[in-house]
Structure 1
Amino acid sequence: MASMNAYRRDIDGMRAVAVLSVLAYHYGLSAPGGFVGVDVFFVISGYLIGSLLYRQATGGTFTYLAFYTRRARRILPALLAVLALTYAAMLLVATPSDLRDYGKTALATLLSLSNVQLWRAFNYFHPTAELNPLLMTWSLGVEEQFYLVAPVVMLLLPRLALRGRLIVLCSLIAVSLALAVWAVRLDPGAAFYLLPTRAWELAAGVLVGVLEIHGIGRCIRGWAGEALALAGLVLILVPVMAYDRQTPFPGWTALPPVLGCALLLSTPASALNRRLLALPPMRAVGLVSYSLYLWHWPLISIARLMVGQEQPSLPVRLALLALSGVLAAASYRFVETPFRHARTPARVSLPRYAAALAVSMLLVGSAVVAQGFPQRWPRQFVAEARQFNYHRNPCLVLHHGAEPDTSARCYPVGPRLIALVGDSHAAAFAAGMRAVAAREGMGLVVLAKASCQFLVGVAPRETMHPELLHDCATFNRRVMVLLLNDPRVRGVIIAGAWRAGSMQPIHYVAMDGSSGTPDELFAQGLARAVRTLEGAGKQVMIARDVPFLRIEPRSRMASCASRWRNLWPGTAGAGDCGRIGSADTVSDAPVLALLARVARQTGASLVDPRASFCDRSGCLIAMDGHTYYRDRQHLSPLGSSRAATAFAPLLRSLASHSRPPGDASGLTASRR
């Protein structure tokens, strides 16, 4: 077997490339695909730790006690320091629900399960991953789970000939990669967070290490080595600049950065490795890369939590980035290094680490048990903050579903009905619309599916949810059949997140294969829906969407209720709690023009609930401490009541024209 150097300076340079890519991505510094830096970390980790495991397994020196003590010394001290200080900060500024969620993720992190917890936690109605200060720990969960399995595999490999060992490793890589390619289409969240679809990246590093140990590939020198090293760096940097959040990932798209890192690891003698990656500044960043990775995210995440914006201002981000570097250097010097070089025997230090984990779990677990310690906040805010917690709308069909809910709660009895159809924005109108319809003696039918605007012959193709194309078309087709076959439905309100028509990275597909721009297909599908309903004698109303906020309303409300959050620059003062400026909302002018054109062409009524919230100077998001929004785009029940007033005149007119002679009460007890 060939020998391996104990320390390669160029590997710290690779770590620097990886961590700087991640930081640039998270801090909004022109690296839209910087998330691939984590994949580079995975390959490096597999190479270093896998090589160590393989050497010990083949040499008969491996022990689980020594291995996991080494892992604990490397991972836990800096992680526990970050958890402790982050927890203290969250106690000061986090709302009860945010602190409770923090506690759940912290517990999962200490159990090396944060990737699983985060995968399960963030769904359609809880998409604010950026506000979780421990989001970065998902990669630690993947690594630690991998290193529960890797020793078993490594201990089995020496029983095989070299060819058999390589076949096993290549087979594991191929299976995991194939699973990632398949899963990224079926469940992108699971593909991103879970070990089975990420294991191939770490295993690729293991394979490079095993090949090097056996001297395979050591002949790659000279111009071939230089070319491969350059290709490796390009394969990393191009995705950093070319990928973005809409890139399906991982899967085939993760192959370039993984292969690029593997090539760099395989060419230590190249000039690029020796002269560029081994430069002192690159090495310095690489040495503190673990602490830098840990510290950078809580700082920017808590800042977002405080100001309620996706990105704080550039000066704030640069200041936080500098602070990340300072904390990382201090952590490396005073936490990482002393513990890594401690001489305490493994049989003593591992129980100590276990005790530290247990104490930490008790501390962060208290935030979960105590429901985020609501006593820290004014009672009125605590009561109102419940609006921001996800409450399942029973009439909203979520992803992976295509069957409308026709139970009595969503499709009531009665001789005169008004239907509300569309996506989750339509469903958010339901509470207020139901009350307005009842005053006019009508029942409200609610048939809605998340992310599915009510279009005919056209459906969305969204990268993160590829199943929508089929599910939306099927759902809308079934809804249309229900409406056309029910004469009691006198009118239909079509509502939705119309900003997606021209401002979101969602592509529309004509189910008959015809082509057109996204705007053309969107308008075409909406016009067909309106004309089909009008052809059956239904009166159709198209609802303009309510304001989509650039700020988190819960952060704005919390800033008004917390003296600690008011200390942060850019947060709202007490007089700004219920109102935001026009710059804090997303303009819907382009799609509004499309809606108006469809309304003119079809004769549908265009209703503007946005006018109930906004004037030229800004928009209302709360009144007297009571919020109109659950999140940046979905109305609360109180908000839906305000929006519904815009529909009252049309519903009154529809009810008066459709009321049978002598019937003043409206609903009857008859069933469909």
Structure 2
Amino acid sequence: MHKYRADIDGLRAVAVSSVVIYHAIPNLVPAGFVGVDIFFVISGFLIGGIIYGDTLDGSFSFANFYARRVRRILPALLAVVLATLLAGLFLLNTHAMKELTSQAFAALFGLSNVYFWDNSDYFATAAVYQPLMMTWSLGIEEQFYVVFPFLMFPLIKLAPRGRIIALLVLIGVSFALSIVAVQRAPVSAFFLLPPRAWELGIGVTLAVMHHEKWIPQASRAVTDLISLVGFALVIASLFLFNHDTSFPGYAVLLPVIGTVMLIHAREGFFNRTLLSWKPVVFVGLISYSWYLWHWPMMAYVRIASDHSHTGGALLSVAAMSFVVAVLSWRYIEQPFRARKLPNIPVLVRYVTVLVAVAAVPVALRLADGVPQRIPHSVVVAEKVRAEGRGTCLLSFDQVRFDESLPCYPEGSRIALLGDSHASAAGVGLEEYAASEGTTLAQFSKSGCAPLLGYSRPQQGSLVYARNCADFVDGAWRQIASDPDIETVFIVGSWPSERDRLFRPVVDEKVLPPVESLEAVDRGLRALVSRLHEANKNVVLVGDVPRFDFNPMERVISDGFVARRFLRDFFGLSYKVKDGWVSPQALMPEYDKVGEIVRRIAEEDERIAYYDLKQVFCEADNCLYEKDGKPIFLDQHHLSAFGSRQVEWSDVEFSSPHMRTPS
């Protein structure tokens, strides 16, 4: 068993502080998420080292090992899950409550990473509203420790050198899988155990090498140097990357290597000074509770808030969660860890309590999220949400459009081409097409701007960029070859001028990034040109207003007393009146690119232009709800109800070269 090391608790403090600050204000620590990778290495070193030592001397017991794990993990986790569910009853609508019950059930049984792999994305905007998202890393660890003890028995039958080699081979396989997955399936690379196992494995390997005394004792000067370099690598890793970095992949090497060096340099300068400083060590001692409590508290404040820029408020929440974590550590973690009972009774009791607690989210789910608690205004908003924003949207991994689908009716004279904003507008356009005696053929793919030869990777995935380019190329060709289609509406989520992630795609090759202004100008002109060559009318559609708040959630928050209280307590409310909000609630960084779309239409008389922003905005304010119904599902997607408010018949086909669909 490892002798207690204060410096490792100090390293935990660095990890958890980085994570919490990143979750509050990402710009302060752009890659604070690497704190989780630091935790993985520490866990592998400590827990993996214990398993190795106990297995080697024949004292390892599954009952003893898992009894220690449940004492360490479950008490605080059970408390957080129950508190989060209870708060959800006062803060969440039925849809979100049902999602939370699934998150809670997955968290209790160590499957959070699998749940979020299938349902979310850590770096996606929506992730910050998932109250139990932080439990994904616990899933990784618990799955690792289900598998690893069984691996250790055949491993110790090898000679010491063979054990190290075998571990290094397994680490290499896992790391290689991570490198491949981060390009081809980035969400899998982030959430699933196989691409992550090497991070815990490298900690285990260091522990084995220490146990076998494979690393000679270094001088104080060398140890200080190792400590200095390790600390520098860890700190650098917190600032050199951000949410757009392909992660984990190669980037994670920096914090992992830095952590390994710091763990190894036990008596190094930073280890014996900063990392062993009592206030820092104390933060490390409560790091598990702080990690658990900070996220749901932040998520609920975000859910209640109008503002997307909640940094100041979330720093206050971080401080509050620290106090809660201290209490949790003192009155939940410590008593249960100190209690001495035989292993089998401990396991039986914890399993019984676990099943009892797991029955709570199951009961809430069976009760359909307890809809009786929902105010009428929220019920109305939820019906709008349930209707969604169109059904003809291809997912990220789909490329080709299935002509057999109802999204491509035979004989359609009007077509829609674009991304998720196009799909959202499609509900109203379908009704417009019907009023013109025809149907609507829809070509829309999530996150894929209607630009020819340019696309934006998701999480750095070049495969996605190629898929997007293939989709747009295939869509315009299909439209051009269909003699029935006369008019094409091009609707896109036009990017911010700050966006510099678009990449040219030429002959399946993804080239270096260009600015969004260039991508939209060239890519949109190229697409329009191809459609004109096919003798199609083109209507360019200016984007909807981009709100700095979520109109759907604002309407829902107005119905919940607890949410209104949180929103107003933290000063995170925009002033609204009769469904209108002031322009201060809009995001102006999208205007410049939007002007490019308008200019392209104005320069060519063969192009009609229709501005969705003008539909919903006047000089002094913008409409976000009408008759208690949200016009938008989120900050920038029309609801089906909102889509029906658009008068598409107002499009003016003024050029003699164009004709109104008939």
TM-score when normalising by structure 2: 0.94
Asked whether the 8 Å contact 2:130–2:299 carries over to 1, the reply is: yes
Task: Show structure 1 runs of 5+ residues with no match.
Answer: 660-665, 667-672
Aligned-residue offset at 1:170: 0.5
1:386 CA displacement: 3.6
Letter in 2 for 1:584: A
Candidates 5, 24, 34, aligned match of 2:21: 24
- Deviation string 1:394-443 (CA, Å, 9 cap, x unpaired) is 422111211123236222234x6111111111111111111122222232
Residues 365, 464 of structure 1: CA spacing in aligned structure 2 closer, same or farther, 3 A cutoff?
A: farther
**Deviation string, structure 1 residues 532-559 (Cα, Å, up to 9, x no partner):** 2223322211100101222122320112
Q: 1: CA distance between counterparts of 2:425 and 2:401?
A: 17
- In structure 2, the residue matched to 1:633 is 636
What secondary structure does 2:503 align onto? strand
Contact 1:459–1:472 (Cα < 8 Å) also in 2:
yes
Aligned-partner Cα distance in 2 for 1:125–1:250: 12
Superposed CA offset, 1:371-395 (max 9, x none) = 2111111244224314335858442
Alignment of 1:583-594 (within 5 A): 583-587=584-588, 588-594=590-596
Contact 1:288/1:328 (8 A) holds in 2: yes
Q: 1:274 aligns to what? A: 272
Seen in structure 2, the aligned counterparts of structure 1 residues 200 and 649 have a Cα distance that, compared at 3 Å, is closer
- Contact persistence 2:451–2:523 (CA under 8 A): yes
User: What is the CA-CA distance between 1:490 and the residue it aligns to?
Assistant: 1.6
CA RMSD of aligned residues (A): 2.4
Q: Secondary structure at the match of 2:645?
A: helix
Paired residues of 1:106 and 1:364 also in contact (CA < 8 A): yes
Are 2:328 and 1:328 aligned?
A: no
User: What SS does structure 2 have at the residue aligned with 1:205?
Assistant: helix
**Separation (CA, whole Å) in 2 of partners of 1:140 and 1:493:** 47
The aligned counterpart of 2:503 is 508
Q: In structure 2, what is the equivalent of residue 563 of structure 1?
A: 561
Residues in 2 aligned to 1:390 and 1:342: alpha-carbon distance in whole angstroms: 52
Per mean C-alpha deviation after superposition, the further-off stretch among 14-23 and 628-637 is 628-637
- Contact kept in structure 2, 1:452 and 1:468, CA below 8 Å: no
Deviation at 1:81, TM superposition (A): 1.3
Query: SS at the partner of 2:18?
Result: helix
**Is the CA contact 1:411–1:446 (under 8 Å) kept in the aligned structure 2?**
yes
Distance (whole Å) between structure 2 residues aligned to residue 381 and residue 507 of structure 1: 38
Q: Secondary structure at the residue paired with 1:359?
A: helix
Query: Does the 8 Å contact 2:16/2:291 carry over to 1?
Result: yes
Partner SS for 2:483: coil
Which one-letter code corresponds to 1:459 in the other structure? S
Q: Which residue in the other structure is 2:97 paired with?
A: 99
Secondary structure in 2 matching 1:338: helix
User: Does the C-alpha gap of structure 1 residues 584 and 575 become closer, same or farther in structure 2, counting only changes over 3 Å?
Assistant: closer
Report if aligned partners of 2:307, 2:572 keep a CA contact under 8 Å in 1: no
Query: 351, 355, 365: which is aligned to 2:352?
Result: 355
Number of aligned positions between the proteins? 653
Alpha-carbon contact 2:543-2:613 (below 8 Å) kept: yes
CA contact (8 A) 1:43 1:201 kept: yes
Among 249, 270, 294, the residue aligned to 1:251:
249
| Map of 1:663 onto structure 2 | none
Question: Structure 1 residue 623 and structure 2 residue 626: aligned?
Answer: yes
Residue 459 of structure 2 corresponds to: 463
2:413 to 417, 425, 440: 417
- Residues in 1 aligned to 2:543 and 2:342: alpha-carbon distance in whole angstroms: 64
2:294 matched to which residue of 1? 296
Q: Secondary structure at the match of 1:407?
A: coil
- State the distance in 1 between where 2:537 and 2:471 align: 21
What secondary structure is seen at the aligned counterpart in 2 of 1:337?
helix
Mapped to 2, the partners of 1:371 and 1:518 lie a distance apart of 44
- 1:317 and 2:314 correspond: yes
Q: Contact 1:442 / 1:655 at 8 angstroms: preserved in 2?
A: no
Stretches of structure 2 that go unaligned for 5 or more consecutive residues are none
Aligned residue number for residue 608 of structure 1: 611
Partner in structure 1 of residue 335 of structure 2: 338
Counterpart-to-counterpart distance in 2, 1:125 and 1:262: 26
Partner of 1:454: 450
Going from structure 1 to structure 2, the CA distance change for 1:423 and 1:527 (only over 3 Å counts) comes to: same
Worse-matched range after superposition: 426-435 or 471-480 = 471-480
Q: Which residue of 2 aligns with 1:662?
A: none
Contact 2:381 2:556 in 1 (8 A): no
* Structure 1 Cα separation of the partners of residues 500 and 22 of structure 2: 19
Whether the aligned pair in 1 keeps the contact of 2:500 and 2:516 (CA below 8 Å) is no
The 3-state SS of whatever aligns with 1:249 is coil
Amino acid at match of 1:458: Y
| CA–CA separation in structure 1 for the residues paired with 2:477 and 2:555 | 43
Check whether the contact 1:436–1:648 (CA below 8 A) recurs between aligned residues.
no
2:190 — aligned with what?
Answer: 192
Matches within 5 A, 1:197-216: 197-216=195-214
Does 2:473 match 1:472? no
Aligned position for 1:429: 425
One-letter amino acid of the structure 1 residue matched with residue 506 of structure 2: M
Q: Secondary structure at the match of 1:100?
A: helix
Query: Per the alignment, do residues 308 and 467 of structure 1 end up closer, same or farther by CA in structure 2, a change over 3 Å counting?
Result: farther
Matches of 2:557 and 2:311, distance apart in 1: 17
Most deviating of 602-611 and 457-466:
457-466
394-403 vs 14-23, greater mean Cα deviation = 394-403
Residues 576 and 138 (structure 1), Cα distance of their counterparts in 2 relative to 1, 3 Å cut: farther
2: CA distance, partners of 1:392 / 1:584? 22
SS at the partner of 1:382? helix
Secondary structure, counterpart of 2:622 in structure 1? strand
Q: Tell me if structure 2 keeps the 8 A contact 1:607–1:647.
A: no
3-state SS in 2 of match to 1:492: strand
* 1:221 and 1:267 in contact (8 A); partners too: no
Q: Supply the distance in 2 between the matched residues of 1:508 and 1:574 (Cα, whole angstroms).
A: 39
1:494 aligns with one of 490, 496, 500? 490
The Cα of 1:600 is off from its aligned counterpart by 3.3
CA distance in 2, matches of 1:64, 1:22: 32
- Structure 2 CA distance, aligned partners of 1:145 and 1:108? 12
Give 2:609's aligned amino acid. L
CA distance in 1, matches of 2:378, 2:638: 18
1:438 is aligned to 2:434: yes
TM-score w.r.t. length of structure 1: 0.92
How far the C-alpha of 1:584 sits from its partner, in A, is 2.1
Cα pair 2:502 2:519 within 8 Å, conserved: no
**Equivalent in 396, 400, 403 of residue 397 of structure 2:** 400
Q: CA deviation at 1:212?
A: 0.8
CA contact (8 A) 2:608 2:653 kept: no
Q: Which position in structure 1 is the counterpart of 2:652? A: 650
1:167 maps to amino acid:
I
C-alpha distance after superposition, 1:494-546 (max 9, x if no partner): 1100125x343532315268886442232111111112222332221110010
User: 2:307 touches 2:573 (CA, 8 Å); kept in 1?
Assistant: no
Contact 1:47 1:202 in 2 (8 A): yes
Change (3 A) 1:658 1:12: closer
- Higher alpha-carbon deviation: 619-628 or 304-313: 304-313
In the TM superposition, residue 322 of structure 1 has moved relative to its aligned partner by 1.6
TM-superposed CA distance for 1:651, in Å, is 6.8
Between stretches 252-261 and 603-612, larger displacement belongs to: 603-612
Structure 1 residues 47 and 656, CA gap change in structure 2 (3 angstroms): closer
1:577 Cα offset (Å): 6.8
Offset, 1:206: 0.5
For 2:545 and 2:651, the matched residues in 1 are separated by 22
Instruction: Give, in angstroms, the shift of residue 655 of structure 1.
Output: 13
Instruction: Give the Cα–Cα distance (whole angstroms) in 2 for the partners of residues 425 and 385 of structure 1.
Output: 20
Q: 2:74 is paired with a residue of what secondary structure?
A: helix
Alignment partner of 1:541: what SS? strand
Q: State the SS of the aligned residue for 1:445.
A: strand
